[in-house]
Every structure is written in structure tokens, then in C-alpha cells.
A = this chain, B = another copy of it.
């Protein structure tokens, strides 16, 4: 396969990243500023908030305020995670959400433990959300977790992923993001998974959401981009994964992804220097280390 000429990078830092940050609730204005800076750096697709019960995810309790604070830029899509109908209603009420996201998994054990239902039940729950989205002309993205391995069930068969991805498309999702949630994939395994899925869902409707728990994310992304996949989820500064403490896990850093894509001659529309500035700014705000090697390398001017 030829490499895609361009890749759309979906920035999940403000949502998938920040919701996994330990410590104090991050001020709303910090979250809003992060979204603004990301758009300014050329990110055209930003997952900005999660409309989930603050009981479950206190860090996302100000989702409506975050959306209200965003000064939307033309050409940028602002997305929100909406795990249930109530969340979807709240997201739509803001009048600022271009896209909603729903999630399920390729592992029955994972949906059972995480959202207390079967995969089929999780898909059923999407029906009213899809209807509401359609009424408001808002597109819906589907996430599938544990596409390679599951912390409870072990290896996941590619055909299982393909079936769930197909269901999400059939139910109206415009795109399916394939999540290696625990980061256990290696290049040939993710290629085999993608091959199976792309027989059920066209490649242009698929995204890779690979975690870097075992350091494999970039190698895996290179492998799937070689297969023609052209949408990648990532998180500025690797937010959501701890860069050095025990228990490190989480999102691959956007800067590192962009560096690789640009090195491969693939366009992203992203200004890497601006993105690195944003990366240092947000890690300063959070008082945490930076999970992006590119940010560390460019930040200290060592080459």
C-alpha cells in the first residue's frame, strides 16, 4: 500500500488525556485555553470534553462550561464524549458540539467490568443517542476499546473487532476509532486486526487510537499507516499517561506522531513548533512531566 498523502490527527488530550490526570480539578479556563491553543497549532479535530456524570469523572464535571468557553474556529471540529442519552442532551444544549462520541469494546469481559453490560446492550444504548444526533445534524464517532488485548480476557480475535466496528457503522457512526486500550499490540498484530476490520468497514472510516503502555504505539501506527489508514488519535504531551511513574499507560503523544508523519512526508496541517509550545504550557499548568519525547528534545534545543 502507498502511504496516505495526508493524515488527520484527532487530538484527544483535553478529554481522554485530562480525564485521566490525577490530582486537583483543572480550572475550566485552562481546559478552554488548551483547546484554543491546539486549534491554533493546526489541530482540526479536537475532543474537548466528556458529558459524563461528575460522580464518575469529576475532572469532566465542567464539560458544559468548557464548551461554552470555546471560541470556535472555522474548519475545526469540536467533539464531546457522550456515554449516555443524558450526556448527549447536555452536549447538544451547549450548541457548540460538532460531533459526539460513543464507546464500546471488542471484549465482553471489558464491557461487563467497565460499563456493566454486554457489547450488544452497549450498542442498543446508542440508539437514542444516534437518533438525537441525527435530529440535530451532529455526526457520531464510535470507539471500540480493547481491539488487540483485554486486561480481563487476554487476546482479542480480529474478527470480533471487525464485527463490533461493522455494527457501529451500521448504526450510523461516520467513523470508528480502534483502541488498543492497554497498549499490548505489536506491528503485525495491529495489521492483522486492521486487515480483518477493513473487510467490514472501508479504511477511510477507520481511525487508530493506540496507547503507548508498552512503548509500541509509534511502531504500530507506522504499520497501519503503511496499510493506508489515515486517521490517528493522540494526546498532546501524552496527557493521560504518566510519563515516568509506575503504572505508566495511556495515549501516544501527538508531537511524536506528527514528527513521524512529517518525516514520512505525510501532511497533517499541524505546526509542530506551536504544538510543542502548547505541550510545555499544559504540562507546566499541570505540574507534571512531559510524555512527549519530541517536546523534550525540541524544548531543550539539543540539536
**Which A residues contact B (CB, under 8 angstroms)?**
149, 151, 182-189, 212-216, 218-219, 221-223, 243-249, 253, 256, 259-260, 262-265, 289-290, 292-294, 296-297, 299-300, 302-303
Most B CB contacts (10 A, CB to CB) among A182, A212, A248, A253 go to A248
22 contacts between A and B (CB under 8 A): A149-B303, A183-B297, A186-B259, A186-B263, A187-B263, A188-B264, A214-B259, A214-B297, A215-B218, A216-B218, A216-B260, A216-B263, A218-B219, A219-B221, A219-B260, A243-B243, A246-B296, A246-B299, A247-B300, A248-B293, A248-B296, A248-B297
**From residue A27, how far is it (CB to closest CB) to chain B in Å?**
25
B contact residues around A212 at 8 Å (CB): 293
Contact B216 A259 (CB under 8 A): yes
Once the chains are docked, how many angstroms separate the CA of A216 from the CA of B259? 8
B contact residues around A221 at 8 Å (CB): 219
Once the chains are docked, how many angstroms separate the CA of A256 from the CA of B186? 11
Contact B187 A246 (CB under 8 A): no
**From residue A4, how far is it (CB to closest CB) to chain B in Å?**
13
B contact residues around A219 at 8 Å (CB): 218-219, 221-222, 260
Most B CB contacts (10 A, CB to CB) among A184, A213, A296 go to A296
Nearest CB in chain B to that of A184: its residue:
B303
A182 touching B303 in the complex, CB below 8 Å, given contacts A213-B293, A216-B260, A222-B187: yes
**From residue A98, how far is it (CB to closest CB) to chain B in Å?**
30
**From residue A146, how far is it (CB to closest CB) to chain B in Å?**
11
Q: Which residue of B243, B292, B303 contacts A151 across the interface (Cβ within 8 Å)? A: B303
Q: Which residue of B215, B259, B289 contacts A292 across the interface (Cβ within 8 Å)? A: B215
Contact B294 A214 (CB under 8 A): yes
B contact residues around A297 at 8 Å (CB): 183, 213-214, 248-249
Nearest CB in chain B to that of A182: its residue:
B303
Contact B302 A260 (CB under 8 A): no
Contact A253 B215 (CB under 8 A): yes
Q: Which residue of B186, B218, B222, B264 contacts A264 across the interface (Cβ within 8 Å)? A: B186
B contact residues around A182 at 8 Å (CB): 302-303
Once the chains are docked, how many angstroms separate the CA of A275 from the CA of B90? 50
B contact residues around A256 at 8 Å (CB): 214-216
Once the chains are docked, how many angstroms separate the CA of A219 from the CA of B248? 20
Once the chains are docked, how many angstroms separate the CA of A259 from the CA of B183? 12
Contact B216 A265 (CB under 8 A): no
Contact A264 B187 (CB under 8 A): yes
